[in-house]
Amino acid sequence: MRRLTAIATSVMMTLTLISSVSAASTLAPPSKVTSTAGPGYYLVTWSKVPGIGVTYTVTGGARAATCVVVDATTCHLPAISTAPVRFRVTASRGSVVSQPSAPSSTLTTRLVLLVAGQSNAMGAESYAIDPTTKNNYFKAPYVNGADRLSTITWNISLVLDTPNGTFAPLTTPQRFVSVSGLRQIFGPEISLARRLYESGVGSVGVMKVAFAGTSLANDWSPTSGKLYGAMIRFVHDQMRRDAASGVVDVLGAAYWFQGESDSVDAAMAHEYQKNLFAFIPALRLDLPFTPRAPVVLVKESMASHITYRFKSGTCGEIGGCSVASARDALIRSADDIAATMLPNVLTVDSQGLSRMTVGIHLSNSAELAIGSLMARVTEDYLHRLR
């Protein structure tokens, strides 16, 4: 009898052990996987599986980032492409791996681009309706699908209207109080968006931050410049608003058109390269760019203005125009050196394009030309984000 009891007990213990091993060798997949829009990222959440020491791996395919956490139920994944993403979560403990979860729902994405700098980034004398030819650059034959599908939001000096924290159609009038009175203006963003649309990149959202007469040495300094801080807040605030409405903004490139103000001051001109080498890395750290996102430097040129001064006899002291040319060359050289020494920095050149009045501000046709150049040097990278 005792022997039978011992045998029965042994059998029960063996069955319990087998059951235990079987349970330990399987894991149920996580459930209730959801994806929520964040400012430049996805927030993925799920329900935990029973037990502790469980590793969760979140994947969204080849076009999405991956996240791995232990005993957690959330992951932040940066938005690295605009491709539709459905996230799945897998649980594992040791060598035991669950089946992938059911996928999350997809979210709306928007490819956004930052255009920033001073008056030529703004388009200070680039009139939407040319006062001489009466050409309307917001109408046919200049328009394409970007005018209907691409969007813009801005923070610009001396402009009367703002889009109220939302993206507006690309050709929304930017009403500027100019020396010629109230005008509608545009910057390089118009042809930038149009060219990218024609090349197959598709629609984009432009964030434009431009203030006339401002310097990299002071106004745009990452450590002390008020405009630098305002630009970073502007982009983050817009991305947060978009996330609240269910849109994930994918920040794909930055275009920097500035330097004229620094070229007229000896100290600022000589410090421009150092300041630029501080500005670009700070910009990458402070904004959620996609990996290897290009920063495009538009090389300013004061050549036309210096020629105007020479012809009008306003060079000032002896050698004044030669000194101005040398300072201008320092700014332009700093852009070239940055493109050579810093990763993913490109340049396009505004020299030789038509200028207005005293030879500083680009004309409307010149703004269209430089915007197209900006698009061309980045379209291959932006194609890969789609």
**Alpha helices (runs of H) in 296-319, residue ranges in sequence order:** 303-312
Query: Does the domain spanning 108-384 belong to CATH 3.20.20.70?
Result: no
**Residue 237 and residue 154: Cα distance in Å, rounded?**
12
Note the pLDDT of residue 12: 46
Contact 257, 300 (CB under 8 A): yes
Instruction: Choose among 263, 150, 265: nearest CA to 199.
Output: 150
Q: What Cα–Cα distance (Å) separates residue 386 from each residue in 44, 192, 219, 237, 239?
A: 21, 17, 35, 24, 19
Q: For every one of its 386 residues, what pLDDT tens digit does the chain have, with 9 covering 90 and above?
A: 444 444 444 434 443 433 443 445 789 999 999 999 999 999 999 999 999 999 999 999 999 999 999 999 999 999 999 999 999 999 999 999 999 999 999 999 999 999 999 999 999 999 999 999 999 999 999 999 999 999 999 999 989 888 888 999 999 999 988 777 889 999 999 999 999 999 999 999 999 999 999 999 999 999 999 999 999 999 999 999 999 999 999 999 999 999 999 999 999 999 999 999 999 999 999 999 999 999 999 999 999 999 999 999 999 877 899 999 999 999 999 999 999 999 999 999 999 999 998 999 999 999 999 999 999 999 999 999 99
Distance CA 24, CA 355 (A): 74
Q: Where are the alpha helices (DSSP H) in 95-140?
A: 119-122
pLDDT at position 24, please? 54
Q: Is the pTM of this model over 0.85?
A: yes
Instruction: Kindly report the CATH number that applies to the domain delimited by 27-97.
Output: 2.60.40.10
Look-up of token digits 């999405």: 64
What are the extents of the domains in the chain?
27-97, 108-384
CB atoms within 10 A of CB 274: 12
Cis peptide before 343 (omega within 30 of 0): no
Cα 368 from Cα 9, distance rounded (Å): 87
- pLDDT number for residue 165: 86
pLDDT at position 316, please?
86
Both structure tokens of 107: 């979210």
User: How far is residue 232 CA from its own chain's centroid?
Assistant: 11
Closest CA to 375 of 218, 197, 223: 197
Q: Quick one: pLDDT at residue 9?
A: 46
Q: Which pLDDT score is estimated for 179?
A: 72
N-to-C CA span, the chain: 76
